[in-house]
A and B are shown apart, each in its own frame.
Chain A
Amino acid sequence: MPDPAGRPPVTSADIARVFRAEHGRAVAVLIRALGDIDLAEDAVQDAFAVAVARWPRDGMPPSPAGWIITTARRRAIDRLRREASRDARQSEAALIAAPDEPREEGPVRDERLRLVFTCCHPALSREAQVALTLRLLGGLTTAEIARAFLVPEATMAQRIVRAKRKIRDVGIPYRVPRDADLPPRVTSVLSVVYLVFTEGHTATSGSELGRPDLAAEAIRLGRAVVELMPDEPEAKGLLALMLLTEARRPARTDAAGEPVLLADQDRACWDAALVAEGHALVRECLRRNAPGPFQIQAAINAVHTDAATASDTDWVQVVALYDQLLEVFPTDVVRLNRAVAVAEVEGAASGLGLVEGLDLGGYPAFHVVRADLLARLGRSAEAAAALDRARSLTANRVEERLIGLRAARHDA
C-alpha cells in the first residue's frame, strides 16, 4: 500500500532489523519497569507482534524503539491486570531484585548496562552467561543460540530457564556493580563476548552445520559494550581484537576451503574498513596507556595488519608486545606465540629453544610451530614427525566434537 506521506513501505526485513537492534534496550527498560525478565520478554514480543501488524499499514514510527517500549509497557500492564483479576498471580510474580538507588549523576546510563551485568553475573555458569547475553541483549531466539552452540534446542531452552530461575531465586541484582566489584565483573562481560566471537571464528570451517554468524554477533555485542563503557580500555581492546581478526577472515581459507597461514594470505582480501577501524581503536588504547590482555592482543594484530606483506612485519615490535602480554597473561600458549616472533627476529634455532620447554603436547598448534622451526633448521625427519603428531591431535578434536554433539543429542 503506498504511504500517504510518500515514505517507503515498511518491510518485514525492516522490522526484523529494528528487533535485532532494539531488543536489548527494550527488554532492559521493561525489566527495570516490571521487575521480571519473563514478563519483560513477553511484553517486548507482544509489542513486535503489534508492530508487524501496524507498521506496514501506518508506516515506521519516528522512534521505533520508543514505540516498542511504550507498547510493550502497555501490553504488560494489560496482561498483569488480566492475570490479577483471574487469580492472585500478580503477587507471586517473583520479582527480580531491582533495588531503588539514588539517581546516578551525569548522563543517564543506558539501561542495557544493567542487563549486561546481570546476564554475565559470575554466579551464573559461563554457558548460561553466554546464552542469556545472546538472548536478552542480542535478541537471538533460543533456536538460533542452540544452533550456534551445536546443542539441541530443548537443552538450550532449559539452560536459559535455569539461569533465569537462579537470577530470581538468589536475587542477582539488576544494576551496575559497585566500583569495588567492577573490575572482575567487566572481565566477565568481556570474556562472554570474546567466547561468542571465538566460537564463531572457529565455526567458519563448519558453516555447513548452519550456524548463524556468531562472529558478527560478537562484534555487535562488542560495539554495544564499548558504547556502554566508553571509559573501559579493555572493552575497546576487545572490539579492536575482534575487528582485526574478522578483517582477515576472507583470506583465511582458500577457494577449496583449506586454511591459509598468515604468511601466505592474500592481504588484498583483508577487509580494509575493519582494519582501519581496528587500528583507530588500538591507537586510542595506546593513548590511554592502561594496557590489558585484550588491548595487547589487539596491538599484536595491528602490527600484523599494518604490514603490506608478511616480510614487512615488524617482528621486533611483536616480540615486545608478547613480552608485555606475558606479564599480565603468563601462559604457555602466549610463550609459544612469542617463540614464533622470536624465531623471525633471532632465527629458527632461538625460537625452537623457547618452544622445546613448553608443556603443550596436547595442543596441535604447538606441533605445527615445532614442525615449521625444525624444517627451517633442515631437520626434516623430526619436522615430519611433529606434523604427524599435530595431524593426529587435530583429527581427535574433530572426532571429539562429533561425539560431543551426539552426546548432547542423547541428553535432550
Chain B
Amino acid sequence: MDTTRTYLISLFSGDGPPPPEVDLAAIMAELEKINDDIRAAGGWVFAGGLAATSSATVVRKPDAVSDALLTDGPFIEAKEHLGGISIVRAADYDVALGWAERIAGATGLTVEIRPFEQGGPGQQPTTE
C-alpha cells in the first residue's frame, strides 16, 4: 500500500525586517542542508520564501463575467504572516514531521505542517 502523502510546511514570520542579531546567512545555509536531506530522501517537491506582505494583491472576482476587484495588500492583516513554504512528500508522517521540526529549529519560526487532501488535483507528481 502506498502511503505517500504530500505535506505543506508553512513558515510564519513577524512583520518587518528580522532583528539584527539574526544571522540570515547561517539560517539559509542550514535550510539548504535540510533541503539537501529532503532531496536525498526523495521527499523534495518545492520550497521558497515569500516577498514582503506589502507586495501582496488580493483578487476578487465572484464569477467569470464580473470585473476583477484588486486590493493592494495582504488578505489577512496580522502580526504574523506566511513567510515561506516547503512542500514535501513522505510515506511516513513522522519523517515529514521530523523535517518540519528541523525547519522550525533552524529558523526559530513557528511552522505548521498540513497534508494536502489525498487524490485531489495536483496530487500526482509532474513527470520530469
Bound together: yes
Say if the beta carbon of A102 comes within 8 Å of chain B.
no
Among the listed stretches B39-47, B59-67, B71-79, B90-98, which one makes contact with chain A, having 4 or more residues with CB under 8 Å of it? B90-98
Interface residues in B, total, Cβ within 8 A: 14
Among the listed stretches A51-59, A173-181, A381-389, which one makes contact with chain B, having 4 or more residues with CB under 8 Å of it? A173-181
| Chain A residues within 8 Å of B3, by CB | 95, 97-99, 171, 173
A171 with B97: in contact, given A35-B1, A97-B3 (CB under 8 Å)?
Answer: no
A177 to chain B, nearest CB (A): 7
| Chain A residues within 8 Å of B97, by CB | 123
Closest residue of chain A to B7 (Cβ to Cβ) is A170
| Chain A residues within 8 Å of B123, by CB | none
| Chain B residues within 8 Å of A170, by CB | 5, 7, 93, 113-115
Cβ–Cβ contact A171 & B1, under 8 A: no
Residues in A276-296 with C-beta less than 8 Å from chain B: none
Cβ–Cβ contact A98 & B94, under 8 A: no
Say if the beta carbon of A136 comes within 8 Å of chain B.
no
Interface SS, A side: loop
Cβ–Cβ contact B91 & A94, under 8 A: no
A119 to B113, CA, bound (A): 19
A177 with B115: in contact, given A97-B3, A171-B3 (CB under 8 Å)?
Answer: no
| Chain B residues within 8 Å of A98, by CB | 1, 3
| Chain B residues within 8 Å of A94, by CB | 118
B62 to chain A, nearest CB (A): 30
Say if the beta carbon of A172 comes within 8 Å of chain B.
yes
Say if the beta carbon of A356 comes within 8 Å of chain B.
no
Query: Contact string, A100-144, partner B, CB cutoff 8 A, digits 1/0?
Result: 100000000000000000000001000000000000000000000
Say if the beta carbon of A399 comes within 8 Å of chain B.
no
A181 to B96, CA, bound (A): 13
A181 to B98, CA, bound (A): 9
B113 to chain A, nearest CB (A): 8
| Chain A residues within 8 Å of B118, by CB | 94
Residues in B102-127 with C-beta less than 8 Å from chain A: 113-115, 118
Closest residue of chain A to B117 (Cβ to Cβ) is A169
| Chain A residues within 8 Å of B7, by CB | 170
Contact of B92 among A95, A169, A173 (CB under 8 A): A173
B119 to chain A, nearest CB (A): 9
Closest residue of chain A to B97 (Cβ to Cβ) is A123
B105 to chain A, nearest CB (A): 14
A35 to B94, CA, bound (A): 18
| Chain A residues within 8 Å of B94, by CB | 173, 177-178, 181
| Chain B residues within 8 Å of A181, by CB | 94, 98
Cβ–Cβ contact A172 & B1, under 8 A: no
A338 to chain B, nearest CB (A): 34
A181 to B92, CA, bound (A): 13
- Interface set of A (CB-CB < 8 Å, partner B): 35, 94-95, 97-100, 123, 169-173, 177-178, 181
12 A-B interface contacts by CB (under 8 A): A95-B3, A97-B3, A97-B91, A97-B92, A97-B93, A99-B91, A99-B92, A123-B93, A169-B115, A170-B5, A170-B7, A173-B92
User: 3 closest A-B pairs (Cβ-Cβ)?
Assistant: A97-B3, A171-B93, A171-B5
- Interface set of B (CB-CB < 8 Å, partner A): 1, 3, 5, 7, 91-94, 97-98, 113-115, 118
